[in-house]
Amino acid sequence: MKTKYFALSYRGLPDTEFICDCNNKLRLKATRIKDPSNIPLVEGIIGVSEAAFFIFENVSSISVDKNHVFNAIEWFKAYLRIPSMRVVEIRK
């Protein structure tokens, strides 16, 4: 069964969207960084494309499999029509 996702955005949180799945298991915060010189080095997942830099944070209330997270990022890439994005996981 293919997982279906949707994106939420809030007026009070500019440059931030939440990627959610329809099964209520995943909530992934995607923050767009406009100035690449100010990217904070945090543990997590960073996406780099020609158009933007993204920081992805898993803010789900339960533990979610990494494959599920990366599938959601792939969906988000297609949702924003980004042709190419390099995704890197940073660990401390």
Domain boundaries, the chain: 5-90
Average pLDDT, the chain: 86
At residue 40, the pLDDT reads 65
Longest dimension (CA), the chain: 41
Distances (CA, A) of 63 to 27, 40, 72: 11, 24, 15
Strand order in the sheet with 16-21: 5-9, 16-21, 27-33, 53-58, 44-49, 85-90
Q: What is the pLDDT of residues 22-47, one digit of tens each?
A: 887 899 999 998 777 766 667 788 89
Start-end of H helices in the chain: 66-79
Q: What is the pLDDT of residues 69-82, one digit of tens each?
A: 999 999 999 999 99
Instruction: Give the CB-side neighbour count of residue 87, counting CA atoms within 13 A.
Output: 19
- pLDDT > 90 in the chain, percent: 37
Taking the model in full, what pTM does it have? 0.85
